[in-house]
Structure 1
Amino acid sequence: MIVVFDAECLLCSAWVQFLLRHDKRRVFRFASMQQAAGRRLLAEAGLEVDRLETLLLVTEHGAYRYTSAIFRVLHQLGWPWRLAWMAWVVPAPIRDPLYRWLARNRYRWFGRRATCFVPDAGDAERFLDE
């Protein structure tokens, strides 16, 4: 499974750091949208880098975005993160606009890096194009 994320976004980088800490089975790999592999995966999913309002999760079964991607990621982390599936009862037409609103404001509220997120040496092999 590959998580495509915005490596300049402080919130997105914090999410990746959270996943690195809690992904004990090491099922996730990562690609930043600023790198060629991330851009390619976004293009294959029909997403544009310039107006990206989601992270992208690419699995063997397809590509997921918005809250669907978040729930699938948290499910893979196991207990207690799987409890997030309880929020699945909230319909996607309500969940996803809230997600996109947060994504549109991520730089203003959480900040932006001048340079892209760089993983620790022990995690570097989990990043595409790094």
Structure 2
Amino acid sequence: MTSHQNIILFYDGNCGFCQWTVQFVLKHERNHDIFFAPLQGETARNTLSPNLTKKLDSVVVKGPSGIMTETEAVFFLLSYLKAPFSLLSIFKLIPLFVRNPIYRLIARNRHKLMKAPVSCHLPSLDERKRLLP
């Protein structure tokens, strides 16, 4: 497996809401620092503990300081987005014991919130270079 010291956003590849999130990050990121890998893929199997790749109930980010999940991962990603989205980081002031249960509620209902798309977004050449197996 190729070693990536970069940021990797791991997502549920079978989830429409998760696929939308990847597209959103691609569209609004400031630089091209983030790589993307499905939680069901080889990169996730080789990088993450099995409990993170089997439950599929959280976005997972591998960053310079380690593995992040739930709102910790979301706020980390927000710091890589253009304004005004990066300004949403202000909500990190909400205590973890409040924001993570809200995250879990959304995560449990994500399949109802947005269905998997019928057709796939065709990634650009640059985007394809950042999609990991």
TM band (smaller chain): 0.7 to 0.9
Taking structure 1 as reference, are residues 112 and 78 closer, same or farther at Cα in structure 2, changes over 3 Å only? closer
In structure 1, stretches of 5+ residues that fail to align are none
Relative to the length of structure 1, the TM-score reads: 0.85
Taking structure 1 as reference, are residues 48 and 61 closer, same or farther at Cα in structure 2, changes over 3 Å only? closer
Q: Conserved in 1, the CA contact under 8 Å of 2:28 and 2:82?
A: no
Partner of 2:123: 120
Taking structure 1 as reference, are residues 31 and 118 closer, same or farther at Cα in structure 2, changes over 3 Å only? farther
After TM superposition, the runs of 4+ consecutive aligned structure 1 residues lying more than 6 A away are: none
- Identical amino acids, percent of aligned pairs: 27
Paired residue type of 1:88: K
Write the deviation string for residues 49-74 of structure 1: whole angstroms up to 9, x where unpaired.
Answer: 33221101101211111111111101
CA RMSD of aligned residues (A): 2.1
Matched residue count: 126
Partner of 2:35: 29
Relative to the length of structure 2, the TM-score reads: 0.83
Partner of 2:61: 57
CA displacement at 1:113 relative to structure 2 = 5.6
User: Which piece of structure 1 moves more, 55-64 or 71-80?
Assistant: 71-80
Partner of 1:109: 113
Cα distance in 2 between the residues matched to 1:112 and 1:78? 26
Paired residue type of 1:29: F
